[in-house]
Amino acid sequence: MSTRLKLISAKPAQAVEPEAVLEVQGLSKIFRVNQTTLHALENIRFQAGTGELICVLGPSGCGKTTLLKILSGFIPPSAGQITLNGLPVFRPGPDRCVVFQEDALFPWLTVAENIAFGLKGRGFGSRSVRQETERFLSLVNLEAFRDYLPREISGGMKQRVALARVLILNPKVLLMDEPFAALDAQTREEMQTFLLSLWKKLSHTILFVTHDVTEAVTLADRILVMDKNPGRIRHDIAVPLKRPRMRETDAFHHHCKHLYAMLRTEKAE
């Protein structure tokens, strides 16, 4: 607990404008299905600063997963530009790693082998691969499960492996697509706390997609609230609450209520 508080004080909230890592400008995506056009995303623009934890919040069908797929390079945008440290982004790459909602571990590899996977075949010696794997195994508290196969561990553990296997690559941005949505409520809360503790240690820039208001308020420095038909960013709001955030406090409730109201008015329109 004490280290956590120290780390928070070391990171003054909103003191300096952080340098932008990820910059998205005029991003649109249009799907054409049977002569009907769907504006999945319209004129999305935002910046993510170094070490920022940004949540993208919106109802299902607002295009938030599409946004993440475009950012990760799996699908091309219809218009607009994405730059990472000033360089344009075209295809998938280890500078923008993804933690998927569903289980995307390799079922024929053990926990340790899954974590080491990304490091292999890029010129690291086997000793340094082993050392790094050990480091990240212990970082996600899975040393005891190193030789287990994905099907032998729980959903929460799987997502911890999924985190470790991308964090080991030291991505510039970590993209998370509702990674805890398939977990039970208790595990989800544990994973949120766990993600925050990892983020404090490694201070990655994280873009976290969710439809869960409480989750967004628990995690985010900033929340991008999305709207659907067409999918666009309606609000960009800061969450100035101190961490660790207690769900029982009035301030927390206030933020949640505020966000629920935003989502409701969007639906009504």
Partner 1 sequence: MNDRPKPYRLLPWIIPGTLVVAWWIVSQSGWIPGYLLPHPKDIAKTGYAYIFGLDGNGPYAGRFLTDATASLLRVVMGFSLAAFVGVPLGMLSGRLEWVEKLLSLSVNGVRAVPGISWLPLSLVWFGIGMKTTVFLVSLAAFFPIYLNAAAGARAVPPILLQAGAMMGVGRIRGTFAILIPGAMSHLVAGLRLGLGISWAYLVLGELTGVPSGLGAVIMDARMSGQIDVIIVGIALIALLGQSSDYLLRTLLRMLFKSARRTP
Chain residues in the site for partner 1 (CB under 8 A): 72-74, 91-94, 96-98, 100, 102, 104-109, 117-118, 121-122, 149, 165-166, 169
Residue closer to partner 1, measured from CB, 59 or 93: 93
Find the shortest distance in angstroms from Cβ 102 to partner 1. Answer: 6
Interatomic CA distance for residues 206 and 75, integer angstroms: 20
Find the shortest distance in angstroms from Cβ 118 to partner 1. Answer: 4
Residue closer to partner 1, measured from CB, 71 or 262: 71
Interatomic CA distance for residues 175 and 99, integer angstroms: 6
Residue closer to partner 1, measured from CB, 45 or 172: 172
Residue closer to partner 1, measured from CB, 26 or 92: 92
Q: Return the structure tokens found at 123.
A: 């010129």
Find the shortest distance in angstroms from Cβ 16 to partner 1. Answer: 31
CB 246 within 8 Å of CB 189: no
Find the shortest distance in angstroms from Cβ 121 to partner 1. Answer: 5
Nearest of 262, 190, 257 to residue 224 by alpha carbon = 262
Interatomic CA distance for residues 7 and 5, integer angstroms: 5
Residue closer to partner 1, measured from CB, 32 or 91: 91
Interatomic CA distance for residues 130 and 110, integer angstroms: 14
Find the shortest distance in angstroms from Cβ 112 to partner 1. Answer: 13
Q: Which residue has the tokens 């989800």?
A: 188
Q: Phi, psi at residue 251, to the nearest 5°?
A: -60, -40
Q: Phi, psi at residue 172, to the nearest 5°?
A: -75, -35
Residue closer to partner 1, measured from CB, 165 or 228: 165
Q: Return the structure tokens found at 189.
A: 């809360």
Find the shortest distance in angstroms from Cβ 264 to partner 1. Answer: 33
